[in-house]
Amino acid sequence: MVPISGSKLRGPPTDLSDALLAHMIGAALQADLGGTRQATKTVMRWTHVSDHTARSWLNGHTSPSSLHLLELATQSQTVMAVILKATGYGGLELAHDLAVVENALEEALARVKALRDA
């Protein structure tokens, strides 16, 4: 028996459906890669899926399985942003972007110091 603690489970922020998720991921992939044949090949290379499957994702007809979605999110910040927004964690996108900027600034500072010391 599960004790009643009074806490409520977090639900999705919107009425998310499979079709809506497929559309959102397709739009994110097209924003990153475009809708060209090269975009299809890139998705195929990232996830090791067939041409037909990659085109279905890019066109928003179907959504990827969980493991393929993780592969896409690893390669595409736009797909990661879609996942965060769909799960109600859209605010984490800003934290991720700030971390990327911070790393780039640290690399630039290291280059400047190297030039100064040379």
Which DSSP string corresponds to 4-46? Answer: P--------SS---HHHHHHHHHHHHHHHH-SSHHHHHHHHHH
User: CA 72 from chain center: how many Å?
Assistant: 6
Domain segments of the chain: what residues?
A: 18-87, 90-118
The fold of the 18-87 domain, in CATH, is: 434 Repressor (Amino-terminal Domain) (1.10.260)
Query: What does the pLDDT read at residue 33?
Result: 93
Of 102 and 24, the one with more pLDDT: 24
State yes or no: pLDDT of 57 exceeds 90. Answer: yes
Q: What is the pLDDT of residues 24-56, one digit of tens each?
A: 999 999 999 988 899 999 999 999 999 999 999
Q: What is the mean predicted confidence (pLDDT) over 57-76?
A: 94
Phi, psi for 51 (deg, rounded to 5): -60, -45
Q: Rounded to two decimals, what is the model's pTM?
A: 0.67
Query: What does the pLDDT read at residue 87?
Result: 84
